[in-house]
Chains A and B, each alone.
Chain A
Amino acid sequence: MNPLPLVAVAGSPNAGKSALFNALTGARQKVGNYPGVTVERHSGRLMLADGRPIELVDLPGAYSLEPASPDEAVTRDVLLGKQKGERQPDALVIVVDASNLDNHLRFCLQLLELGLPTIVALNMVDLASRDGLELDAKSLERQLGVPVVETVAVRRRGIPDLQQAIDDMLSAPFCGVPERVKSDLIHLQRRAREIATAAVISETPVRRWTHRLDAVLLHPVLGPVILAAIMFVMFQAVFAWSQTPVSWIEDGVGWLSGQASAALPPGLLRSMVVDGAIAGVGAVITFLPQILILFFFILLLEGTGYMVRAAFLMDRLMHGVGLSGRAFIPLLSSFACAVPGIMATRTIDDPKDRLTTILVAPLMTCSARLPVYTLIIAAFIPNTRLAWGIGLQGVVMFGLYVTGIFGALLAAFVLRRGVLKGSGGGFMMELPKYQWPLLKDVAIGILTRAQIFLKRAGTIILGTTIILWALASVPHAAPGQKQSDVSIAGKIGRGIETIVKPIGFNQDISMALLPAMAAREVAVSAIATVYSIDSADDQAGASRLEDKLQRRWSLATALAFLAWFVFAPQCISTIAVTRRETNGWKWPLFMVSYLFVLAYVAAGATYWTAVALGL
């Protein structure tokens, strides 16, 4: 069978390429990865008027065929037919920003030299006229020698014309343009300027919207204040809006496990389905609402053009530890959950900057650690008031967050001078014009993230939770024996205990560390389970978990446990997403090891200091 004709959508960053791609393909798109690199491949289908389907692929934005980032390298390789796992496109749709022709025509001219059938989409003509710029598409068409279609992708304007042009292009017999002489960039740039100037019908200097907004949003004082306010709203939303959907998911998971319990006969299979698969995946899925709300904000900030401004404001501070301003939003997102944080590092061009950000992201205190912190603090830290409105418990909680942040900055600093040495690509970014993104485009982005997350929950996380369950259930305890003593997990727990005993952890904690791999807050339910099993022979079995902890743990142990969780390298989802984003096991293994060492040292130091102080 002949493969479908492949049409590539190419263009410079901020030309509105993705919006145009979305407008052409709608939600019918596939997101994958190019083999060997962490660059996303977006593709979709388009029907021609005669019903023939074609495949459309959205290439990463590039300024030229001289790549300055892995994304741009993929674009070049696909266009030259050198990319593994991708055919050379049969035709091109080049997207250019009407108000930035001087720059975008350079890449366009370079692409025209490839000699493929081509259409140019003169995009965002509305923003150009908002800026007082009127362009002559016909003149452009004469100069470039290919059809030029005016579009406003985010408003879906000009899309039928573009579709018609693609149709005509693929229906007409293509004789092939003789390969032109490859020109160097400087000449292309000068020619681009000439063509751009010639295409201008009129230009009225108006005070540009973007400039006016930037005067406020990038103001040395107001800028950081507004950024802080936006971040505050974002986090409020992540935690407040997610409560209702989280309770739906919890109810759904509860209903499902109830149904499964009723449908399956008691025994190993029921235990595997209910305690293993449903409980394990259920615990991870409960984070889906938070992750999606976070992505809603990230995509909105990205789509409006504010994200780059946030990076601009924070760059100097991040630069101090060898990161770039681009790392700010991913790291901030990691306070909700490291998974979307690590996924958001794709906006960082420089591979070393990006890897450093991925490696330190788990040190940001994610929301899954909150239940653990809350429980231990409530049980061990007296609720004394230090000053008006400031309690000791709150101070400890704050201290745990700050420790995580400083840990991350320190780790980044060390990594950039050690394994990830070498100056990064620095910080060079275009500040695009502000615009309001189409909510449909944001929705498509969120849907894509949800798919990626659920797919992972369905495969890696399901697999691991079943393994964890199997370890905890096999061999089955005979009557009179405790399951936790007999099972393989129990034996592993005792093995772990010999390692963590020096840092003050008892057997209960060792037992909880293993299931906490599925999701950190599972540590709480794991400890609760251990104590509810043991509470049969405990007179005060009905007492609260906090009271039980107080009786069994010393304060030094509790503090060591908190210190452990600041660094704890324990989250299957984070390890899985790191594997996916770094394309191999090397970096996730490195991350787990260095976090383990940090956690071990921090917990040990806390424990022995506390013991020495007589706590």
Chain B
Amino acid sequence: MNAPFKHDVTSLDLLAVGTKARVLSIDWTALEESEACRLRNFGFDEGVTVEPLHLGPFGRDPIAIRVGRMTVAIRRRHAGAISVTLLNQ
């Protein structure tokens, strides 16, 4: 998953640990109402900077992600609903 991206657009679950990216869009329809609500409450929103920090030891799931000043853990499946664009570092 460290392969270089052809385009700078990918989904959050494919982002390498330590890579900063900006949220482009969130596919709210792929999430249940309570899950979508939780994500919004964590501050996930278009334009927000995110960075995967840690991966779960089994199946690299869940993913700990820095969003704003918070670190939150979400499952890989939910991260897949969030498309991001890499930030130049």
A interface residues with partner B (beta carbon < 8 Å): 63-64, 66-69, 99-103, 106, 185-186, 189-190, 193, 210-211, 214-215, 218, 220-221, 223-224, 308, 311-313, 315-317, 319, 325, 350, 423, 425-431
- Given contacts A68-B34, A312-B62, A428-B38, A100 and B73 within 8 Å (CB-CB): no
B interface SS class: mixed
Docked-complex contact B53 and A214, CB < 8 angstroms: yes
Give, as a whole number of angstroms, the nearest-CB distance from B60 to chain A: 8
Q: Is B55 an interface residue (CB 8 A)?
A: yes
Docked-complex contact A99 and B73, CB < 8 angstroms: no
Give, as a whole number of angstroms, the nearest-CB distance from A324 to chain B: 9
Docked-complex contact B69 and A99, CB < 8 angstroms: yes
With the chains together, A319 CA to B62 CA distance in Å? 10
Docked-complex contact A430 and B62, CB < 8 angstroms: no
Mark B33-57 against chain A: 1 for CB-CB distance below 8 A, else 0. Answer: 0110111111101000000011111
* A311: B residues at CB distance < 8 A: 73
Docked-complex contact A430 and B43, CB < 8 angstroms: no
B interface residues with partner A (beta carbon < 8 Å): 32, 34-35, 37-43, 45, 53-59, 61-62, 64, 68-75, 77-78
Docked-complex contact A315 and B42, CB < 8 angstroms: no
Give, as a whole number of angstroms, the nearest-CB distance from B32 to chain A: 7
With the chains together, A599 CA to B11 CA distance in Å? 48
- Given contacts A185-B40, A312-B56, A430 and B45 within 8 Å (CB-CB): no
Q: Which of B39, B43, B53 lies in contact with A428, CB distance below 8 A?
A: B39
* B55: A residues at CB distance < 8 A: 220
Give, as a whole number of angstroms, the nearest-CB distance from A415 to chain B: 20
Give, as a whole number of angstroms, the nearest-CB distance from A30 to chain B: 29
- Given contacts A214-B53, A218-B64, A312-B64, A102 and B74 within 8 Å (CB-CB): no
A-B contacts, 16 listed (Cβ < 8 Å): A64-B40, A100-B70, A106-B43, A190-B45, A224-B57, A312-B54, A312-B56, A315-B61, A315-B73, A316-B62, A350-B34, A425-B35, A426-B35, A427-B62, A428-B78, A430-B72
With the chains together, A393 CA to B37 CA distance in Å? 52
Docked-complex contact B68 and A102, CB < 8 angstroms: yes
Docked-complex contact B43 and A103, CB < 8 angstroms: yes
Give, as a whole number of angstroms, the nearest-CB distance from B33 to chain A: 9
Docked-complex contact B61 and A316, CB < 8 angstroms: yes
With the chains together, A285 CA to B74 CA distance in Å? 40
